[in-house]
Amino acid sequence: MPASVPDWRPRLVLASASPRRLALLQQIGIEPDALLPSDIDESPLKGERPKAVARRLAREKAERARAVLATRPELEGAFIVAADTVVARGSRILPKPEHVEEAAQCLRLLSGRGHRVYTGLAVIGPRGGLRERLVETRVSFKHLSRQDIEAYLASGEWRGKAGGYAVQGRAASFVTKLVGSHSSVVGLPLYETAAILTGEGYPLHAAWLNAGAPHG
């Protein structure tokens, strides 16, 4: 995080503790001024579809960060970026496993099949307006042998990842087809994020961000 921020640059808060989402923002030239992860219950509601879960949780994370900002005067007027990623086979939502057997079940379910990854995106602008997007990506896995699954479980990459895998890591070798947004599967759809931020007046031009004063 920068030690100080020029007064002319808008501040931005990432409502997440995910190192993957932070790295994706940095990839497009954005260094958040604060990380405000939201401790919310991510359990789906009864009968809630995967798309609806991703939308709702992204919105709840953004709103929770907005409430925290009310107690942080140094971040007054900051942009808030929040996201939530859901992996689903049909209407079945796969967990973010914390135990190895749960991760193994996810991998066995995905083996040799296609699935969908939904990422809800919520951005709150300095004036309080909420902008939302939902990005859907189709992913197909090769047939996973027992050795594939055991080696991946041993890597530990699956822990806490939606669907039990990280597409930016070793699981990239499992993917036979991906239709949609790779960055969305990682955790933050960059095209949609950039489009909303620029539409709300956030400067994404690297020279503008890194210079001592805004360019005309």
* Three-class SS state of 116: strand
41 is catalytic: no
Return the ∠ at Cα 51 (arms to 201 and 34), rounded to 5°. 40
Measured distance CA(123)–CA(147) in Å, rounded: 42
Residue 67: CB atoms within 10 Å:
10
Q: Which two tokens stand for residue 14?
A: 């990432």
* Lookup result for tokens 């789906």: 44
Per DSSP, which regions of the chain are E strands? 12-14, 34-35, 79-89, 92-93, 114-124, 130-141, 175-179
- Which residues have C-beta within 8 Å of that of residue 168, sequence separation ≥ 6? 20, 186
How are beta strands 114-124 and 79-89 bridged, if at all? antiparallel
Catalytic residue among 7, 33, 41, 84: 84
The tokens for 52 are 């609806």
Q: Number of C-alpha atoms within 13 angstroms, CB side, residue 93?
A: 21
Q: So which residues are the catalytic ones?
A: 84
